[in-house]
Structure 1
Amino acid sequence: MRASAKYGAVAGLSSLVLASVAVAPAGGAAVIDAALHGTVVAAGRAAAAGIAFGRCPAVEKLPKSVQCGTVKVPLDYTDPSGRQIELTVSRVKASGKKAERQGAFVYNPGGPGASSMHFPLAAETPEWRRIAKAYDIVGYAPRGVGRSAPLSCQDPVDFLEAPTLAPTHPSASYKMERVAEAQAYAKGCADKAGATLRHYTSLNNARDLDVLRAALGEKKLTFMGASYGTYFGALYATMFPSHVRRMVFDSAVNPAPEQIWYRNNLDQSEAFESRWADFRAWVARHERTYHLGATPEEVAHSYEEVRARLAEKPAGGKVGPGQLHAAFLGAGYYDEYWPMRAKALAEYLKGDPQPLIDQAAPDPDGAKAAENGNAVYTAVECNDAPWPEDFSVWDLDNTLLAQRAPFETWDNAWMNLPCAFWPAPRQQPLDVRTEPRELPDTLILAAERDAATPYAGALELQRRLAGSVLITEEDAGTHGIGAGSNSCVNTYLEDYLLRGETPVRRASCAPHPEPDPVSLDRRAEQRKLPHTV
């Protein structure tokens, strides 16, 4: 699974035993205290300097309505006067009257490795318009991402090599090939980044967020993190509770230290099996539209038939089983993908591979960004916590898991396997936790059947953040639900961000409607009609 999808949400990341984990020194409390002092120093400098917002560089591909700037942060917070790196920041100023303005609203879409530089464009959408009247809408590229001290581990062309295989039950020889690739990838990260590699961490992302807060001129932070953004948002709430004004956690990562990150990835793989079943059941209910099977099992057979054909002859020379899997993984994240993915499968079986090629073939123009996102994803997750260093542990855990959850298990394992051979020091995860009245009320949004960040993570985060309120979209699985298609969820989000109002403890929303392929086809036909006034 690529970092762009891994723990990333929309912009408007097991019960198996973890064994043989090698624990590397984290530096202890003295390092944490030194980094805290460094954050205070850096935030003070940033508050004095501010951000010189102006025209965005052409490379950002943003309209004139969006302003851009940079903020300096220390590479190493234990040495705040040492090397500085610049994070890119984007902004659209609040559109309402001066009396309506409530400050800056900062958003992170997850990853690790995702950027929110384009997020200010959301200010013009119906879902965000009222919030954008009250807040400056702020996006940024975290350290390592985009132009923010960019990280790379391999040639982007090699990263998007295609076609590839994606066996659900790999052979011993295939496993050894992937082990060698993981070792080479980890070495590539070390060779390209050198001594800076160890500084790409979730703790530093949280510290950077506090410096950004200060640079924006805010005494307290209003922040929304989606997916992985909920994890370093929770770290921020733990380290800087007095700096929080309002904070939204959309599709929460399980923050328990023992879950970061090996177990969370096992849990994710298991949850995707259920979401894959949801997609197949939906396609089966629309058999008259897609003709892929009247039962989920028949739909699975159609998928496997396409998979087998692509293994023999890749579509367009670039879409093999690996690219097919990556495209259909998106259907596990967002049910809005279901109609287009089902149609591509149906058209391929009828003899037209073009829709599948359009949706699944690698995009050469996006190779650099994709490789960069994956490099940051890998560095952050590998640096954040101990991982098993013996492949036999990965082999046993994933072999057992793949017996009941074959769809995503091994692909997820291969993506994370460089962490078994990681050359940089590992940290010990911070124990996310706040005491009663230490933190203002915070809002957690979660879909009950979310696969990328299973629902148990939202429950665990609520247990750890005193005073937090959980809004659940029942019997739904879209990843990232804030300002999405559920008006009930959006009402709770607006009530909180605009007025600070929340339910007492928990509340539920009915699921948003599933896609209707018939109505979608009708809308497509209507768009083809000439417009008349």
Structure 2
Amino acid sequence: MKALVLSGVVGSLVLTSLAIPPGRALDAPPSEMGGTLIAARRAAAEGIRFTTCPAEEKLPPHITCGTVRVPVDYADPDGASIPLTVSRVEASGPAADRQGALVYNPGGPGASSTFFPLAAELPAWKRISAAYDLVGYAPRGVGRSAPVSCQDPADRATGPTPAPTHPSEVFKRERIARAKTYAQGCATRTGTALRHYHSLNNARDLEVLRAALDEPKLTYMGASYGTYFGALYATLFPHRVRRMVFDAPVDPAPRQVWYVNNLDQSPAFERRWADFRTWVAGHDKVYGLGTTAREVQASYEKVRVELAASPAGGKVGQGQLHAAMLDVGYHDGFWALRANALSRYLKGDPKPLIEQAAPAPETSPDAGNGRAVYTAVECNDAPWPEDFAVWDRDNTRLAETAPFETWDNAWLNLPCAYWKAPRQMPLDVRTGPGVLPPVLILAAERDAATPYEGALELQRRLWGSALVTERDAGTHGIGGGPNACVNGYLETYLLTGAVPGGTPVRRASCAPHPEPDPVSLERRAELRPPSDLPGQGVTARPLAGPSPSS
């Protein structure tokens, strides 16, 4: 990854975590580490009472739910607490073969994994779910786990919006004003607790959850952002790690978190957008959008221009179109779906595009919760440039060669320039020989949301870790997906603890899963997006997403 230089970060920072030397097992002020120990002991004594899941979780009756309480502030473990929603399906195999609980986090920040027990029904997870209880949960701030809010649902834009790839000065000023309003809304609506929604506390919460599940050591799988605070956990609590899987890993280097990581997504998304256009061009007989990637781009630009003048159904403008098209960068399961929508629109039928891109009605109290948690965690986690001139310079340069995602991502993250809460200083994720048992890293070589260089960096930092690469592929989150080779390594590791390759550098690679089959226009009604399960598109816009207006 060619990281852009982070410069122009100014302002006073309140540092609430301390860096550690390589090889140290613990990193936190004694009060916060002590608070974690107190909370974990309390959770171990209380356990989790699993009963019928609340109707809001929309889970079948064989999956049960409970709660575990974690401190809002680990420096005050006897103060206010947050109930985290936990879901579970028990291992289906013989009791003698049970290996404990497998806890999963899909990333975000801002995503819940309470759906994860449903993976037990998938073929790729059958042997794993026979050995493990599959456990999901809603992290702090998410869903019913003391939800964070930054905006009244009534204030969320639902009409068609613009999404210029090269914004004017007037448009930039308008987005600056929105970012300031949103940041202020987070501070006003969440209050003094806002500062405690960050990745270090997510890692500490994971330790409390482990204790509440009565697991001596943690078996954990995280995707995307879930790999970041999983790596924090491995650094803070290496003696509590049994097995860990990091799928589509974030680059954990402190210099990357989070401003530079977000900048690095732009060229990666541009590359993946080109992959999509090349695939569409190869199936011109089906879609009629052009025989070259350049011609497909021209077809896309034609749709953008028409939607700017006349939004489809009065709902889908450039912003909604672009937000929908970002999905092709995350998962190639969206390729036929989106290509079909563009094709039908240009042939006079806007219905598929409206169905895929129109904003869903958001009138519930938790509307916008995912974005609120995303913003709180990323803004709290690290320093950000506080002068828009830095953002303007870096993103203007990027947009010259990578216009597809650059400014969209900038607008999503811009509230961090005007954040009201104190910042953390990123922990130096690092373990030395013998500190951590072998962990497994899974990565697609052309991943856009978490570029492949991050997987290499994580492997360098977690001594003895093994990296499995899906070559020439870019789906974000590959464990449990369509690649049998990847799934073989995942299953072997979770069931036996064995990792591929030899020391000191443990690596293996898999050929890419097949590209999606084109779907004819006559079969368009049969199109379905990937499901929200591991390896099926579960990571749900981690670390990037639609602009605030979309």
Which residue, out of 6, 18, 24, partners 2:6?
18
Aligned with 1:517: secondary structure? coil
Q: Is the 8 A contact 2:217 2:241 kept in 1?
A: yes
C-alpha contact (below 8 Å) 1:227/1:480 kept by paired residues: yes
- In the TM superposition, what is the alpha-carbon distance from 1:60 to its structure 2 partner? 1.2
Which whole-Å deviations, capped at 9, do the CAs of 1:108-135 have from their partners, x for residues lacking one?
0000000001111111111111100000
Paired position in structure 2 for 1:4: none
Give the counterpart letter for 1:459 in structure 2: L
CA distance in 2, matches of 1:131, 1:72: 28
Shift of the alpha carbon at 1:16?
2.0
> Match for residue 509 of structure 2?
508
The equivalent residue for 2:548 is: none
SS at match of 1:162: coil
Residues 197 and 377 in structure 2, CA contact (< 8 A), matched pair in contact too: yes
Distance 1:450 1:526 in 2: 23
Counting aligned pairs with the same residue, the percent is 69
Structure 1 residue 381, shift from structure 2 partner: 0.2
Q: What residue number does 2:226 align with?
A: 229
Question: Which residue of 2 is the match for residue 388 of structure 1?
Answer: 385
CA contact (8 A) 1:160 1:362 kept: no
C-alpha displacement at 1:172, in angstroms?
A: 0.4
Given candidates 168, 173, 176, the residue that maps to 1:171 is 168
Q: In structure 2, what is the Cα distance between the partners aligned to 1:476 and 1:509? A: 10
- SS state of the match for residue 132, structure 1? helix
SS at match of 2:87: strand
The 5-angstrom pairing of residues 204-223 of structure 1 reads 204-223=201-220
Tell me how far 1:162 sits from its aligned partner. Answer: 2.2
8 Å CA contact retained: 1:159, 1:367 = no
Does residue 442 of structure 2 align to residue 449 of structure 1?
A: no
- C-alpha separation in 2, matches of 1:516 and 1:104: 37
Q: Does 1:125 align with 2:117?
A: no
C-alpha contact 2:431 2:462 (8 A) present in aligned 1: yes
Q: Distance in 1 between matches of 2:366 and 2:128?
A: 30
Once residues 81 and 331 of structure 2 are traced to their aligned partners in structure 1, the CA distance between those partners, rounded to angstroms, is 38
Equivalent residues in 2 for 1:203-352, closer than 5 Å: 203-352=200-349
1:415 paired residue number: 412
Residue pairs, 1:187-206, within 5 angstroms: 187-206=184-203
Q: Deviation at 1:408?
A: 0.3
The amino acid of 1:17's aligned partner reads V
Aligned to 1:467: 464
The runs of at least 4 consecutive aligned structure 1 residues that moved more than 6 Å come to 519-527
What letter corresponds to residue 5 of structure 2 in structure 1?
Answer: V
Task: Provide TM-score, normalisation by structure 2.
Answer: 0.91
How far, CA to CA, are the matches of 2:107 and 2:34 in structure 1? 27
Deviation of the 1:157 alpha carbon? 3.7
Is the 8 Å Cα contact of residues 71 and 215 (structure 1) preserved in structure 2?
yes
Pair 367,227 (structure 1): closer, same or farther in 2 beyond 3 Å: farther
1:15 deviates by 2.9
Q: Distance in 1 between matches of 2:144 and 2:54?
A: 11
Indicate if the aligned counterparts of 2:286 and 2:521 stay in contact, CA closer than 8 A: no
Aligned length: 514
1:16 alignment partner AA? L
Distance in 1 between residues matched to 2:29 and 2:429, nearest whole Å: 14
Given that 1:292 and 1:302 are in contact with CA atoms closer than 8 Å, whether structure 2 keeps it comes out as yes
Does the alignment pair 1:36 with 2:25? no
Tell me which residue corresponds to 2:48. 51
Amino acid at match of 1:159: R
Q: Structure 1 residue 515: deviation in Å?
A: 0.5
Offset of residue 270 of structure 1: 1.6
Q: Give the one of 431, 435, 450 matched to 1:434.
A: 431
Matched residue type, 2:271: S
Structure 1: which 5+ runs fail to align?
A: 1-13, 528-533
Alignment of 1:154-165 (within 5 A): 154-165=151-162
Residues 483-533 of structure 1 show CA distances to partners (whole Å, capped at 9, x for unaligned) of 001000000000000111111200000000000115897797799xxxxxx
DSSP 3-state at the match of 2:425? coil
CA distance in 2 between partners of 1:448 and 1:521 (Å): 34
Native 8 Å contact 2:439 2:466 kept in 1: yes
Q: 1:68 aligns with which of 65, 68, 74?
A: 65
Q: 8 Å contact 2:441–2:459 — kept in the other structure? A: yes
Q: Distance in 2 between matches of 1:472 and 1:32?
A: 37
State the Cα distance separating 1:263 from its structure 2 match. Answer: 0.1
> What is the SS of the residue equivalent to 2:469?
strand
Distance 1:242 1:412 in 2: 37
Which string of whole-angstrom CA distances, capped at 9 and with x for unpartnered residues, describes residues 18-40 of structure 1? 11112502135496321111110
Q: 1:473 to 1:370 in 2, by over 3 A?
A: farther
Q: Which has the higher helix share?
A: 1
Who is 2:518 aligned against? 517
User: Which amino acid in 2 is paired with 1:214?
Assistant: A
Supply the distance in 1 between the matched residues of 2:519 and 2:359 (Cα, whole angstroms): 29
Amino acid at match of 2:207: D
Partner of 1:6: none
CA shift digits 1:165-223 (9 cap, x unpaired): 11000000100000000000000000001100000000000000000000000010000
* TM-score, structure 1 as length reference: 0.94
Matched, 1:487 2:480: no
SS in structure 2 opposite 1:364? coil
Q: Does structure 2 conserve the Cα–Cα contact (< 8 Å) formed by 1:56 and 1:69? A: yes
CA distance in 2, matches of 1:514, 1:316: 32
Structure 2: which amino acid aligns with 1:27?
Answer: T
- 2-structure distance, mates of 1:520, 1:252: 36
Whether the 8 Å CA contact 2:264–2:451 is kept in 1: the answer is yes
- Are 1:113 and 2:114 counterparts? no
Query: Secondary structure of the residue that 2:326 maps to in structure 1?
Result: helix
Whole-Å separation in 2 of the counterparts to 1:68 and 1:310: 44
Q: Which one-letter code corresponds to 2:14 in the other structure?
A: P
C-alpha distance in 2 between matches for 1:15 and 1:135 = 39
Contact 1:160 1:367 in 2 (8 A): no
Give the letter for the 1:15 counterpart: A
Q: Deviations over 1:379-417 (max 9, x none)?
A: 000000000000000000000000000000000000000
Displacement of 1:155 in angstroms is: 1.7
Output the amino acid matched with 2:149: S
Q: State the alpha-carbon separation in 1 of the partners of residues 310 and 244 from structure 2.
A: 49
In the alignment, the residues of structure 2 paired with residue 157 and residue 131 of structure 1 have an alpha-carbon distance, to the nearest angstrom, of 43
Change (3 A) 1:227 1:326: same
- Counterpart residue type for residue 44 of structure 1: R
The 2-side partners of 1:324 and 1:434 are apart by: 43
CA deviation vs aligned residue, 1:224-267 (integer Å, no higher than 9, x gap):
00000000000000000000000000000000000000000000
